Copies of this chain bind each other. A is one copy, B any other.
Amino acid sequence: MAVYTHVSAEMMARFLDDYDTGELISFKGIAEGVENSNFLVETRGGQDGHRFILTLYEKRVDPGDLPFFMALLDHLAMRGCRVPRAIADRQGVQIRELAGRPACLIDFLEGISLSAPTPAQASAAGIALADLHLAVADFSGTRPNSMGLAAWRDLAERCAGQWQQIDSGLEQLVSTELSDLEAHWPGDLPQSVIHADLFPDNVLMLGDRVSGLIDFYFSCTDARAYDLAITHSAWCFSNDGRNFDTSLSDALLQGYRSRLALDDAETAALPILARGAALRFTLSRAYDWINTPADALVTRKDPMAFARRLAFYSDPANARLFA
């Protein structure tokens, strides 16, 4: 949540010389996104709109994945989804370089990211997720899920010996769940490209309407129902994971299903997929927690917020939520 790379206004103005976007009139670093540097760019007099996000890709995004992401966003936009496309320069190039980093000039979308969505907003998010799944039916790109089941044991092992600094019961919970999920993970569900990180942060809303889905940098090929489970884990609890909200859950699932029916295997799999989603974020947050100094300006996200969700989803009594 910071600007990692300095870009001067003059550098930005020269960068824009290759685009049909007009004259630079405002340029501000913004504090958001995964670990990239983002700038709000405003121009006037050009043909191609007037407000953009400039993203410089720092360490977490593999530059080799950018063509996949950009093709996905173009495809989704073409199919009517509200997503930020990368603007092409006059040579038709979307992925450029600035300040030594891969850089894309991206559509600016209106809308605000909610911290405490209502059921109506959760329903709209469910609909938007299903529409995304429908829109990629004829998208040919694929990308392995680098944060999927296969990655979890390695991530857990990289936290070995450090769990205690987070919570005394965490190692046992992770170990039990990991073994059980590896043994029972469903392998034959309908797949497509999925967003894989559709937290409220990544859904722009105007009132109860979704005005944009953003931050596709974890998007990959995986089970569609797993995407719904990730979204469920991200939307239906208080931030600290202590309180589950049935009305948000019902609204999200109903919204999704109103556009795209789940088959019996998907419905039956949702409880285990939700455990997987909660474990995935528990693990990535635990790894970041252990590897981020406590006094860093970057706020560490609490792994326990997802460990609590994991415990919730692991309770067989809660499986009925997905029925």
Contact = CB atoms under 8 A, between A and B. Distances in A.
Contact of A115 (B8, B116, B293): B8
B40 A28 contact: yes
A114 B10 contact: yes
Tell me which of A12, A28, A110, A207 has the highest count of chain B C-beta atoms within 10 A of its own C-beta: A28
A86 B42 CA distance: 22
A29 interface: yes
Interface in A27-63: 27-32, 40, 42
A93 interface: no
Contacts of A297: 2, 296-298
Contacts of A2: 1-2, 31, 297
Contact of A25 (B3, B10, B110): B110
Number of copies: 2
Interface residues of A, number: 34
A30 B42 CA distance: 14
Contact of A112 (B26, B112, B295): B26
Given A8-B116, A296-B297, A40 B30 contact: yes
Given A297-B296, A298-B297, A1 B27 contact: no
A77 interface: no
Contact of A27 (B10, B24, B112, B295): B112
A9 interface: yes
Nearest to A205: B9
A40 B29 CA distance: 10
A113 B9 contact: yes
Contact of A29 (B1, B112, B293, B298): B1
A135 interface: no
A290 interface: no
